[in-house]
Amino acid sequence: MRREVLRMERVSLLERGVIQLHGFTLNIFEGEVVGLLPVNNHGLTALLQLLQHNTPLRSGYIYYKEKPINTWRSSKQRQNRIGLIQSESSLVEGLSVADNIFVLRPGAKAWLIRSSTQYKQLMPFLEQVGIYISADTYVSELSPFEKVVVDVLKSVMAGCKLIVLREIRTSVGDEDLRKIHSLLRYYTDQGISFLYIDSHYEELRRICCRVALMSNGGIIKTLKSNAAILEPFDMISKPTLFGGELALSGDAMRSTSPERNAHFVHSKKNDIAGQASRAHDERGVFEAKNVTGSFVYNVSFTAAPGKCVVLQGESDQMLNELLQIFSGQPASGELLLCGKKASLKSNRDIAIIQELPTHTMLFNELSYMDNLCFSLDHRLPEIWRSMQLREGIRREYASTLGADVFDSRVDKLSEVQKYRLVYTRVVLQKPKVAFVVKPFRRTDVELRVHIWALLKMLLDKNISVVILTINLADCVSLADNLIRLRGSPAANV
């Protein structure tokens, strides 16, 4: 007889007048890894909040270990023993691993903390999973992979029978992800269940026995991991960009379907060698020669106009250091822009699209137009004085961005509109090279297709695109050149 760890039965949730969950039905058995693929992110945050804090329901029932914990009739709003692990760790950086696991866990009641006892208690757990982390190491010194392991251990020690993992792929590399999957399998054998949230079907299929498709706050279908299904992804990834149907190339359309994407990536990899040699023939707009820092070693690559280079790092520190170097911080090695040594600091020939750009690159207190023209003054010095110029830009881009967005408040725009704004700003800036950091982080399936098309738009405008990422999913289908960065000399694939 199987045991249900979680059952959500026709759950509807209303938050500030907006229906976040609508007839949400999902069950998770003991020792099972269930995938959750958000077609769009609507209701996802509310779902996580609900799982942890039992917020009052509009309708439906929630059972944890077959006991009702939250129903539409009554909601006790107590904290559930459900662990939540996201790409940003919830661990306290200034405390040691043992303190995070034992002292900060819910239900810890000890008045005196004996470090030696904690270490003794922790060691068997680490030995069981075959991962060795010193118990007295500060969390700030851990790698993203180790943080995930400590987060999992913390949830296990807190007695959580269900652990939710959200987009951990974005913070750890492929090798570490494989280790995390082994860790999850170990704990599923111990009867712990996982809800694994990711916007990549291929990724979910690697670890999950079932994958639930979530759209507009409801589960529309649950697929077995061996289900060879292509159509739903074609259906949900109909790209409509800039108000109309996006004219993606055949390759682009193929890559929107994860199943097909795998095949496409494979054939793309085969083409990489040929393309890389062609790229070498072309004169690069940006060249990095033997760039070395604290985390990166001897990185060399050339970015040609209209070509995409993907730099895959092992950790966030590595990517942050590279970004700092590319934005003008000196390091050993040589950086050439159009074949010449140039100051990269505040150079408008270089654009940087940061991680989560809708949060980090938009100014809510400025108007849409001000945000759009933010980096245009080097091309049109009169832009802030001339109303006519701004009107001209508005007329030109109204057909693509939508006429109504110019009068909207930036914080009221949809996520897709915000992404369009950021990328169109870069197009207006007209840089030679654009560095894009983890472009697909925290995106749902629909948004991924839009971002993919926006990156393609930059390439079509003959801008050289350099993507800095940890996980290769999505980026590979755009890459003309793929470079894997390691602590040792970079290996050009």
Partner 1 sequence: MGFFQAKWKYIFFRACILFVISALFAILAAIIALPAYIVLPVFTLFLIAGALFIIRPYLRADKLIKLYLEGYSLLSEEDGVYLAISPATDMLFAQLQEIASPTKLFSLNKRQAQYLALQNQINPHFLYNTLESIRSEAMLAGLDDVASMTEALATFFRYSITKVESLVSVEEELQNCETYFSIQQYRFGERLKLEIVVSPEDREDIFRCRLPKLTMQPILENCIIHGTELKIGTGHLSIHLERTEKRLLIRISDDGIGMDEEALHRLNDKLGKGISLAMQEQETKGGLALVNVDNRIRLLFGDEYGLHVFSIPGSGTDVEITLPAITSDREVKNTEVLQ
Chain residues binding partner 1 by CB under 8 A are: 1-4, 7, 9-10, 22-23, 25, 27, 29, 59, 61, 66, 68, 71-73, 213, 215-216, 218-223, 229, 231-232, 235
Q: How far is the CB of 25 from partner 1 (least distance, A)?
A: 5
Using the minimum distance from each CB to partner 1, give the nearer residue, 60 or 173. 60
CA-to-CA dists, residue 161 to 31, 53, 84, 179, 283, angstroms: 9, 16, 12, 21, 57
Using the minimum distance from each CB to partner 1, give the nearer residue, 215 or 302. 215
Q: How far is the CB of 208 from partner 1 (least distance, A)?
A: 16
- Residues with Cβ within 8 Å of 233's Cβ and at least 6 positions away in sequence, in order, are 201, 256, 257, 258, 259, 445
Report the C-alpha gap between 406 and 401 in whole angstroms: 9
Using the minimum distance from each CB to partner 1, give the nearer residue, 122 or 447. 447
Q: How far is the CB of 70 from partner 1 (least distance, A)?
A: 12
Q: How far is the CB of 239 from partner 1 (least distance, A)?
A: 17
Using the minimum distance from each CB to partner 1, give the nearer residue, 73 or 341. 73
What one-letter code names the amino acid at 47? L
Using the minimum distance from each CB to partner 1, give the nearer residue, 23 or 305. 23
Using the minimum distance from each CB to partner 1, give the nearer residue, 5 or 405. 5
Using the minimum distance from each CB to partner 1, give the nearer residue, 19 or 336. 19
Can you read off the two tokens belonging to residue 294?
Answer: 């604290």
Using the minimum distance from each CB to partner 1, give the nearer residue, 215 or 255. 215
Q: How far is the CB of 420 from partner 1 (least distance, A)?
A: 24
Q: How far is the CB of 451 from partner 1 (least distance, A)?
A: 23
Q: How far is the CB of 2 from partner 1 (least distance, A)?
A: 6
Using the minimum distance from each CB to partner 1, give the nearer residue, 215 or 477. 215
Using the minimum distance from each CB to partner 1, give the nearer residue, 27 or 49. 27
Q: How far is the CB of 253 from partner 1 (least distance, A)?
A: 17
Place of tokens 């913390």: 154
Using the minimum distance from each CB to partner 1, give the nearer residue, 1 or 387. 1
Using the minimum distance from each CB to partner 1, give the nearer residue, 155 or 199. 199
Q: How far is the CB of 204 from partner 1 (least distance, A)?
A: 16
Q: How far is the CB of 66 from partner 1 (least distance, A)?
A: 5
Q: How far is the CB of 5 from partner 1 (least distance, A)?
A: 10
**What angle, 0 to 180 degrees and rounded to 10, lies between the N-to-C axes of helices 115-129 and 174-189?**
100
Report the C-alpha gap between 242 and 427 in whole angstroms: 14
Calculated CA dihedral for residues 442, 180, 471, 492, nearest 10 degrees: 170
Residue length, the chain?
493
Q: How far is the CB of 193 from partner 1 (least distance, A)?
A: 13
